[in-house]
């Protein structure tokens, strides 16, 4: 399809200058360009294909240079970005200096928040609505030039606890407040829970059987008195298609209309043109098709939620493949644990494919759950299971664990219960950028008394860490691993069991000028660096294994010999593994001036490839070689060791 309209859309004003008959053509062009670009770079495909008409209608009716638009999650923002002048950035989607995959105020002032976690839109919209009202800038019948507020929310994230809290407050707002509910019957995977079932029944049962009833009769019983009756009169014929009876949202004090067809641009514009002037909180329920426009995305919206680069040849879709991922390795290892131990249970929060738990859901459906986008609930549910004597594992992205920290504190750690956290996407995540980096799981979990924190460097160590966690019933444990393929260079080397607080030597060197203690996969890069350094710098490499407790004997042995320690971690330096090493050395009365730390800086790292991000953080091969040189400059090796200890046997790489 030749592009005739999209390249000319530099602002929403260009959209509004089009004839209505041109809008479906624009939608088709946007759909084509998004799909073509995601085929090249990867990205969120099905969510964006499903909301194109909705955003065309929203930008046609509202002025989000003046009005407020809040996103929930934000991975469905591509159409919004194309309509706000960012088509030239699409060719570098999720790359450096290109279009980010999530809303970003640095790109455009119509992106109000950088968002990437679910449940936030209604609460932030509530705050903006109150703020505009207090400043005299909010829309009302008396202030027609004021700002309107719109929160765009998916049917899966509406069940998030924060969304519920936001709805509870939004219903008390005495002003215009529109929640657009994008109901596609999907989360990343199939949505979970009673509310998802309610939406299913609503879509099926709503046959618009009220179409022939008068608008006045349809709104007679709705809250709001004469104001909403007047609204019903003005809504006229539109009301016959969109008002439903006994909607769930009215229990929160929000008027509810729909479901409406989320792909009927003209119908959406007509509806939005009316509901934008309702001076009460209102939910517009739009039914959309996730992956709309292409057979392969509609038929498997889960697989094409956020696919890797791929090609389409007729009916055949070929997705770019790489090596074996840590996620896949975890999924297989979990199933083996569950097969061996009937007390092992598992759950995820709306990420069965992303965390590798899909196999467990299929093979052990009575002991595995997807709770939906409810990390806090999932954590407490697992706490309840732990209280009964089961051995629960919670597979969750590191970035989403932050949402359940309070539960890890109160219901897990404080009670001494053995929840096992499996932290996927720990570290830098590539194209998803700052909203999804897992950079603070160690620093937050290390504060919890009794917590034991582990990291895996390859598939064998991941399996060994899970086995350690299975048998550790004395409190919270967590293992972190990255969004990356497993390195198989140690596949022929025996992986010793995890022994609490003990590191593993990967490259012994009695003549070491520097001892590198790496936490997690940076250990593999450290091995590469050691092999490439000039012979005048001798390096010993250890897999730290534990960030709590760290290997204090190794630290003391090394520092008392005057050998510098370089710690490496794909985690923030503040409160991370290196900080734990310094604290341990301090507690032992050791001089910490010979400890050098390499890790994620105290600044945001934005979208790009993982390689680019690691280089920016100084954690690529060259960066680690430089760090070793800096550490080597501090060496003042002694001939004698003033302490006598039993050295754990080393595994030679």
Give the separation between CA 311 and CA 318, rounded to whole angstroms: 5
Contact present, 69 and 112 (Cβ < 8 Å): yes
> How distant is the alpha carbon of residue 604 from its chain centre?
16
Q: Which residues of 639-652 are buried (b: 16+ CB within 10 A; e: fewer)?
A: eeeeeeeeebeebe
Tokens found for residue 268? 């959406």
Contact present, 464 and 337 (Cβ < 8 Å): no
Give the separation between CA 110 and CA 114, rounded to whole angstroms: 11
Q: Which residues of 56-91 are buried (b: 16+ CB within 10 A; e: fewer)?
A: bbbbbbbebeebbbbbbbbbbbbbbbbbbbbbebbe
Parallel/antiparallel/unpaired status of strands 539-543 and 504-507:
antiparallel
Give the separation between CA 46 and CA 49, rounded to whole angstroms: 5
Q: Which H/E stretch holds residue 268?
A: helix 265-275
Q: Is 33 a catalytic residue?
A: no
Q: Which residues of 372-392 are buried (b: 16+ CB within 10 A; e: fewer)?
A: bbbbbbbbbbbbebbeeebbb
Quick one: DSSP state of residue 20?
G
Q: How far separated are the first and last CA of the chain, in Å rounded?
A: 55
Catalytic-role residue among 86, 133, 290, 483: 290
Contact present, 560 and 636 (Cβ < 8 Å): no
Q: Is 97 left (phi over 0), alpha (psi -120 to 50) or beta?
A: left
Tokens found for residue 103? 């809303």
Q: Residue 343: name the closest of 478, 474, 473 by CA.
A: 473
Q: Return the axis-axis angle of helices 52-61 and 265-275, rounded to nearest 10°.
A: 40
Q: Which long-range contacts (CB under 8 A, 24 or more apart) does 133-140 make?
A: 133/175, 138/175, 138/176, 139/67, 139/175, 139/176, 140/175, 140/176, 140/279
Contact present, 181 and 286 (Cβ < 8 Å): yes
Q: Residue 82: name the closest of 150, 14, 145, 156 by CA.
A: 14
The radius of gyration of the chain from alpha carbons, rounded to an integer in Å, stands at 27
Q: Which H/E stretch holds residue 505?
A: strand 504-507
Rounded to 5 degrees, what angle do the CA atoms 262, 297, 271 make? 5
Q: Is 622 a catalytic residue?
A: no
φ and ψ at residue 439, rounded to 5 degrees: -120, 0
Q: Is 470 a catalytic residue?
A: no
Q: Residue 258: name the closest of 288, 231, 230 by CA.
A: 288
Helices and strands of the chain, counted as H and E runs: 26, 19
The full DSSP string for 196-231 is: HHHHHHHHHH---TTTTS-HHHHTTTSSSHHHHHHH
Contact present, 565 and 596 (Cβ < 8 Å): yes
Catalytic-role residue among 33, 107, 375, 616: 375
| Dihedral, 5, 7, 10, 13 alpha carbons, nearest 10 | 0
Catalytic residues: 290, 375, 403
């Amino acid at each position: 399809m030749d592009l005739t309209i999209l390249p000319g859309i530099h602002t929403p004003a260009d959209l509004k200058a089009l004839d209505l008959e041109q809008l479906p053509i624009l939608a088709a062009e946007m759909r084509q360009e998004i799909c073509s670009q995601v085929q090249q770079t990867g990205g969120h495909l099905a969510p964006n294909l499903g909301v194109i008409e909705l955003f065309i209608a929203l930008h046609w009716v509202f002025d989000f240079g003046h009005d407020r638009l809040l996103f929930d999650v934000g991975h469905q923002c591509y159409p919004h970005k194309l309509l706000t002048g960012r088509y030239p950035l699409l060719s570098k989607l999720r790359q450096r200096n290109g279009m980010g995959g999530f809303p970003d105020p640095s790109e455009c002032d119509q992106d109000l928040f950088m968002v990437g976690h679910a449940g936030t839109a209604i609460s932030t919209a509530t705050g903006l609505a109150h703020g505009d009202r207090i400043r005299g800038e909010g829309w009302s019948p008396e202030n027609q030039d004021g700002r309107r507020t719109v929160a765009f929310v998916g049917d899966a994230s509406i069940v998030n606890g924060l969304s519920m809290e936001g709805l509870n407050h939004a219903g008390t707002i005495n002003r215009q407040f529109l929640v657009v509910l994008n109901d596609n019957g999907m989360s990343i995977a199939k949505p979970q829970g009673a509310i998802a079932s309610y939406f299913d029944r609503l879509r099926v049962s709503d046959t618009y059987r009220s179409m022939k009833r008068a608008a006045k009769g349809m709104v007679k019983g709705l809250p709001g008195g004469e104001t909403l009756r007047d609204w019903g009169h003005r809504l006229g014929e539109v009301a016959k298609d969109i008002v439903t009876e006994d909607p769930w949202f009215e229990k929160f004090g929000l008027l509810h209309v729909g479901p409406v067809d989320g792909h009927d641009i003209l119908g959406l514009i007509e509806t939005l043109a009316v509901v934008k002037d309702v001076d009460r909180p209102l939910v517009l329920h739009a039914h959309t098709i996730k992956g709309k426009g292409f057979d392969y995305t509609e038929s498997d919206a889960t697989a094409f939620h956020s696919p890797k680069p791929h090609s389409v040849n007729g009916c055949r879709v070929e997705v770019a493949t790489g090596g074996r991922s840590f996620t896949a390795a975890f999924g297989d290892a979990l199933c083996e644990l569950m097969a061996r131990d009937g007390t092992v249970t598992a759950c995820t929060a709306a990420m069965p494919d992303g965390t590798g738990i899909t196999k467990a859901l299929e093979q052990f459906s009575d002991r595995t759950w997807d709770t939906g986008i409810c990390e806090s609930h999932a954590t407490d549910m697992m706490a309840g299971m732990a209280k009964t004597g089961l051995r629960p594992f919670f597979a969750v992205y590191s970035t989403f664990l932050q949402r359940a920290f309070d539960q890890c504190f109160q219901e897990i750690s404080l009670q001494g219960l053995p929840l096992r956290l499996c932290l996927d996407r720990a570290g830098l995540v590539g194209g998803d950028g700052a909203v999804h980096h897992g950079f603070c799981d160690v620093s937050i979990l290390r504060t919890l008394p009794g917590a034991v924190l582990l990291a895996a460097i390859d598939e064998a160590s991941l399996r060994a860490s899970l086995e350690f966690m299975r048998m550790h019933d004395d409190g919270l444990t967590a293992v972190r691993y990255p969004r990356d393929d497993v390195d198989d260079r140690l596949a022929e080397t025996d992986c010793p069991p995890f022994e609490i607080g003990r590191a593993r030597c990967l490259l012994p060197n009695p003549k070491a000028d520097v001892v590198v203690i790496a936490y997690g996969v940076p250990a593999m890069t450290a091995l590469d660096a050691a092999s490439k350094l000039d012979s005048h710098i001798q390096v010993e490499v250890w897999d730290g294994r534990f960030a709590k407790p760290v290997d204090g004997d190794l630290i003391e042995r090394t520092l008392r010999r005057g050998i510098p320690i370089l710690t490496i971690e794909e985690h923030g330096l503040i409160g991370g593994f290196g900080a734990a090493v310094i604290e341990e050395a301090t507690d032992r009365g050791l001089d910490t001036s010979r400890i050098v730390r390499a890790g994620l800086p105290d600044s945001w790292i934005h979208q790009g490839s993982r390689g680019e991000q690691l280089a920016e953080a100084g954690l690529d091969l060259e960066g680690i070689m430089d760090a070793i040189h800096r550490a080597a400059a501090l060496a003042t090796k002694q001939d004698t060791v003033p302490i006598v200890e039993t050295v754990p046997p080393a595994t030679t790489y």
